[in-house]
Amino acid sequence: MTTPAVRAPHGGLRSWADLALAAAGAVLLVLAALPVERAGVGAAETAVFRVLNDPTVLPFWLVWPAMQLGNLLVVPAAAVLAAGLRRWRLAAGILLAGVGTYLAAKGVKDLVVRGRPDGLLADVVVRGAEAQGRGFVSGHAAVAVALVALAWPWLGTRGRLVCVALALAVCLARVHVGAHLPLDVVGGAGLGLAVAGCVRLLIGRPA
């Protein structure tokens, strides 16, 4: 059974799945934000952080490139790639979702005040340059998830698996290098899903 869809005025399709994606992302963001404390970290979140941060599974020179897939610079690069494949609607959506997610993450950081792991916990392993600013949410995780969720209707099965793996790598890498706590990346993922759902409703998607 397929989800009912309506044709957008400019030729794309919209469906209830896009609205559900935006709503689910917003709920995930709120649920991740509720336990966040300004001056402390819960026991469960601390335990998860230790598992991901303490061991050195891969050398940093391998982790760093994966982490940069959530960098804002990936947005124009992905848009150019989509335009080169004549996916004009996707290219426009990538720019809108990428920039929108980045700005929304800045707004959430002002609403949910939380520091970086090394300012809240002892014995944090910081790999690479020390992250600055507030920790909730992870902008890298938000941008990576937003781009994958937006491009989902344009991707085949293999492309979806690869992109999900890359987005997951970004989220895990941000915790591994000591830049974020687990709820930071969960909240970032929720924000990315919410923005992607809204953009898909705005621009439509392929049949």
Residue with tokens 């760093």: 64
The answer to the question of residue 29 being in a domain is no
Instruction: Please tell me the total count of domains within the chain.
Output: 1
Per-residue confidence band for 6, with pLDDT thresholds at 50, 70 and 90: low
Q: In this structure, is residue 77 part of a structural domain?
A: yes
Q: How far from 46 is each of 43, 120, 132, 152, CA to CA, in Å?
A: 5, 10, 20, 32
Check if the beta carbon of residue 189 is closer than 8 Å to that of residue 31. no
Q: How confident is the model at residue 14 (pLDDT cuts 50, 70, 90)?
A: confident
* Per-residue pLDDT tens digits for 15-65: 889 999 999 999 999 999 999 998 889 999 999 999 999 988 889 999 999
pLDDT value of position 9: 47
pLDDT of res. 123: 92
Q: What is the pLDDT of residues 127-184, one digit of tens each?
A: 988 888 999 999 999 999 999 999 999 999 999 999 999 999 999 999 999 999 999 9
In a domain, 16, yes or no: no
Q: Is residue 101 part of a domain?
A: yes
Asked if pLDDT for residue 72 goes beyond 70, the answer is yes
Bridge partners, 175 (sequence order): none
Q: What is residue 140's predicted lDDT score, i.e. its pLDDT?
A: 96
Determine the structural domain holding residue 77 and report its residue range.
63-121+140-207
Q: What confidence score (pLDDT) does residue 148 get?
A: 97
Q: Identify whether 11 is part of a domain.
A: no
Q: Given this model, what pLDDT does residue 12 score?
A: 67
